[in-house]
Amino acid sequence: MPLLGELALALALMLALYAIGASVYGARRSAPQFVASARHALWAMFVLTTIAVAALLNALVSSDFTLEYVAAYSSVTLPLGYKLAALWGGQQGSLLLWTWLLTLFAAIVALQNRRRNSQIAPYVFAVLAGVAVFFLGMLNFITPPFQELAVPASRGTDLNPLLQNYWMAIHPPSLYTGYVSATVPFAFASAALITGRLDDSWIRTTRRWALFSWFFLTLGNLFGARWAYEVLGWGGYWAWDPVENAALMPWLVMTAYLHSVMIQERKDMLKVWNLALVGMAFGLTIFGTFITRSGVISSVHSFTQSGLGPYFVAFLVTAAVFYVGLLLFRLPTLRTPAEFESYLSREAAFLFNNLVLVGIAFAVFWGTLFPLLSEAVRGVKITVGPPFFNQVVGPLALALMFLMGVGPLIAWRRATASKLVSCFASPAIVGVAVGLALVWMGLRQWYVLAAFSLAAFVLATVAVEFHRGVGARRHLVAESRPRALANLVAKNNRRYGGYIVHVGVILAFAGIVGSSFFKTGVQRVFKQGQTVTVGSYQLKFLGLKGTETPEVEAEYARFSLSQDGRSLGEIAPARLFYPVSRQPASKVALRSTPVNDLYVVLAAADDQAQTATVEIFLTPLVFWLWAGGLVMALGTVVAVWPDVRERAAIAAMLRSDEAIAGEPAAGGK
């Protein structure tokens, strides 16, 4: 099987090179048979990378320790689920997963564009194949996943204990899916620039791909935050770590693109800006991969020191020069006569929203890169920590919340003063009322007051939009309110799915603010029978308990838990030790409610004295961070759900492409 995997990767690289040549030749020479051949090459490339993935998974499951990768990231005692997850637990395997996803998406694009986008599809295939050439070249020549050991290992080194968690079984695949799928809009944008077909057809074709990428970037960041919260044992979920930042930046830029593209579709504006955002999103996914694999910045999330950094930098620079060159070449044809009529308009609000999102991304990028620049220039690595990011991003986040409330209600083109008052009176009253109520309750932190007031303002604007939509529909059609609401969302799914996403963002924002400003913690050394009160919770130490299996040795600190005198059972944080890898880990005890989380970590245990050193955190509202992420995911599903009008638009575009290609339209002779 390893030899089969090696052969499959070598053939896939040759097919990727062939697909580039056949696509470009077929487009330049008007030879559709070559374009069809390139399309078939993309499908075959996917089959071959699937064979390579299957070969590595087979080696992991069967504990084939003749392979260096299997010996480094698996063991005979590793459970089956984590043997499968070891595919992305190391550098070579994660790059193979990345490449497999890329070839999967390229195959889907080739399937979707058999009969449409005939003018730009060949160049889309060429760009996708070009990106695949880089990753397949890395897997074939730089970091091969099927490298054999001179002397086979006896039992393997085991997967890193921090990765032996169910969140790590879904976090990397989700994040990689979001990363890799951003290549598809980049390929279409590149093809549109190459061919000069710069109308909205490439945007309509890639809208779902952009939402798909954003959806999985959202889930990837959410799952990663949850993993950090449960596994790392420090009571937090985000530390502005370089790898965390690398996952956040493309999400911010893709969010900006999804907003600004609506202005282009409606007003034929911001063409250059949208093309720039697509290029930035793709570039940031490659930059994130560079950060993770180069070893130039230390991170708990990154792979070990390696020599891959220069290759990723070279690829990133090449892609940037290629794309920026195309953009500059087509700049004269991208200018349109359309202009903003007023700064008091929805398009202006969307533009400011874009500027804030890109501003946050730039601040995060600068803070992430600054230690490298300082070391290169001055020879001293200056650490940029959470205070910098909090001070810069915090105020920008408030501005973003305000614009989220303004955008849905303000009119296109130009808003009058009377219209502004009628639209925003109710939401503004709700926001001010919430702020005053919090002051009356004793809250004095200006940021928290502003954050929750703006959150209430945005939720009120969304409620107003749904109320108006339902009222208008019931005025036209005799329906009950629930039925009118369901039909309203179904027939305007893109718009109202976006509003649901906004609700999710506000819930997550409230969870972040509440958990950041009101988190409390204590550290205590407990003897058996001692009790501590944290908030409304009482914890009584019952003693230590040890367990042992071939995979892991564990020592638990047992506590009885009660709240206001009412028993809630037992909780038991633990210290884990993995004998194969000889590495420790923590198992957090967690009780989560919509009001707060009780988070208990066993820092140390003394068996002889029967004492336990325990850290206890009480974190308000963090539940709403996870709930908000799920609401964002729900809103995205609603937004991407196809409707009748969109199918009709696609059919019209297909007929147009057939007419351009000189083929008979459907039903013709």
Alpha-carbon distance of 649 to 505, in angstroms, equals: 30
pLDDT band at 656 (very low <50, low <70, confident <90, very high): low
pLDDT of residue 664: 39
* Mean pLDDT calculated for residue range 282-311: 74
* Mean pLDDT calculated for residue range 365-394: 84
Whether pLDDT at 667 is above 70: no
**Residues of the chain with pLDDT > 90: what percent?**
67
* Mean pLDDT calculated for residue range 107-126: 94
pLDDT band at 290 (very low <50, low <70, confident <90, very high): confident
Whether pLDDT at 583 is above 50: yes
pLDDT of residue 23: 97
pLDDT of residue 188: 97
Which of 113, 138, 159 lies at the terminal end of a domain, its last residue?
159
Residue at token pair 């925003």 = 424
pLDDT of residue 227: 94
pLDDT of residue 646: 54
pLDDT of residue 666: 34
Which of 159, 192, 215 lies at the terminal end of a domain, its last residue?
159
201 within a domain of the structure (yes/no): no
pLDDT of residue 70: 95
Most confident of 8-22, 282-296, 397-411: 8-22
Whether pLDDT at 564 is above 60: yes
For residue 48, what are its two tokens?
Answer: 């071959």
pLDDT of residue 652: 58
pLDDT band at 297 (very low <50, low <70, confident <90, very high): low
Please list the alpha-helical segments (H only) found in 306-378: 309-329, 331-334, 346-378
Whether pLDDT at 513 is above 50: yes
490 within a domain of the structure (yes/no): no
For residue 599, what are its two tokens?
Answer: 């988070």
Whether pLDDT at 668 is above 60: no
Alpha-carbon distance of 483 to 474, in angstroms, equals: 9
Whether pLDDT at 417 is above 80: no
In this structure, what DSSP letter does residue 580 have? T
Output 86 or 417, whichever has higher pLDDT.
86
Torsion, CA 287, CA 291, CA 294, CA 298, rounded to 10: 170
Average pLDDT, the chain: 90
25 within a domain of the structure (yes/no): yes
Buried b (16+ CB within 10 A) or exposed e, 445-479: eeebbbbbbbbbbbbbbbebbbeebbeebbeeeee
Output 26 or 650, whichever has higher pLDDT.
26
pLDDT of residue 657: 55
pLDDT of residue 294: 65
48 within a domain of the structure (yes/no): yes
**Residues of the chain with pLDDT > 70: what percent?**
93
* Mean pLDDT calculated for residue range 505-533: 95
Question: pTM for the whole thing?
Answer: 0.93
588 within a domain of the structure (yes/no): yes
Whether pLDDT at 99 is above 70: yes
State the residue range of the domain holding 600.
520-620
Least confident segment among 156-165, 431-440, 508-517, 632-641 = 156-165
For residue 283, what are its two tokens?
Answer: 């570039």
CA neighbor of 272 nearest in space, from 184, 205, 193, 210: 193
**What CATH number does residue 549 fall under?**
2.60.98
Alpha-carbon distance of 227 to 231, in angstroms, equals: 6
pLDDT of residue 262: 87
Total number of domains constituting the chain: 2
Which of 115, 135, 159 lies at the terminal end of a domain, its last residue?
159
CB of 92 closer than 8 Å to CB of 61: no
Angle at the Cα of 443 from the Cα atoms of 459 and 508, rounded to 5 degrees: 35
Whether pLDDT at 624 is above 60: yes
Whether pLDDT at 658 is above 70: no
CB atoms closer than 10 angstroms to residue 521: 14
348 within a domain of the structure (yes/no): no
123 within a domain of the structure (yes/no): yes
Whether pLDDT at 661 is above 80: no
pLDDT of residue 643: 66
pLDDT of residue 478: 80
AA letter at 518: F
pLDDT band at 665 (very low <50, low <70, confident <90, very high): very low
* Mean pLDDT calculated for residue range 341-349: 78
* Mean pLDDT calculated for residue range 110-130: 94
* Mean pLDDT calculated for residue range 583-593: 93
* Mean pLDDT calculated for residue range 631-636: 96
62 within a domain of the structure (yes/no): yes
Alpha-carbon distance of 29 to 37, in angstroms, equals: 14
* Mean pLDDT calculated for residue range 279-299: 82
